[in-house]
Amino acid sequence: MAANFTSLLVGYVVGGVASSVSLAIDGDRVVVIDPGMVAQRGLLSGAVAAAGFSTSEVTDVVVTHLHLDHTMNVGLFDRAIVHDFMASYHDDIWENHPIDRFELSPSIYALATPGHTREDISIFVETEEGLVVCSHLWWSKKGPLQDPYSFDHTVLEASRARVLALDPYLIVPGHGEPFLTGELDLA
């Protein structure tokens, strides 16, 4: 069975900073991706409610990396297991998971894709329409082509290639609207 994917909030970096926030549902797993900075916290809980869930019904939260603009609101989901690049955290339990790839559910998994930071992961959601990826390897469809915060552009390009090799049809960038992979300006 494929997962369902919903874009909850579209991120931006002009006139403020907000993270793109997404929701993936796979069986009994309700997964929020990158609950970071938003204009008001109520926007986030409201978007989750509009998708049919209370914040307490969210089972998992996963962050693409550790910058606070993508992690600020993890605590809003009081019962969720929180996942980052190296571990899963729930109440006072810290469980390390594999670094290169880990699965959140049968149709949702994460791959290590360093480039923006050393701790970046990209989250893949297998839907009926095809593969969706949430990744900070792209800020938005319009760029920047070269991430000004990247520690190593060669590493970042290798991670972009790793993601694109899996042929996702939709990319949810860190701070912009989801876009079709074919719209990516690779020039």
Q: Which of 67, 80, 102, 163 binds Zn ion (CB under 5 A)?
A: 67
83 near Zn ion (CB under 5 A): no
DSSP letter (8 states) at residue 182:
G
To Zn ion, the closest distance from the beta carbon of 92 in angstroms equals 27
Mapped onto helix, strand or coil, the DSSP state of residue 176 is coil
Nearest residue (CB) to Zn ion, 2 versus 10: 10
CA distance 104 to 123: 9
The stretch among 26-34, 78-86, 87-95, 169-177 that binds Zn ion (CB under 5 A) is 169-177
* 173 contacts Zn ion (rule: CB under 5 A): no
Question: Binding residues for Zn ion, how many (CB under 5 A)?
Answer: 3
Q: Rounded to whole angstroms, how far apart are CA atoms 135 and 4?
A: 17
Residue (67 or 83) nearer to Zn ion, CB: 67
Q: Give 16 or 182: the residue with its C-beta nearer to Zn ion.
A: 16
35 lies in the site for Zn ion, by CB under 5 A: no
DSSP 61-120: EE-SSS-GGGTTTGGGSTTPEEE-SSEEEETTEEEE--SSEEEEETTEEEEE--SSSTT-
- Contact residues toward Zn ion (CB under 5 A) are 67, 69, 174
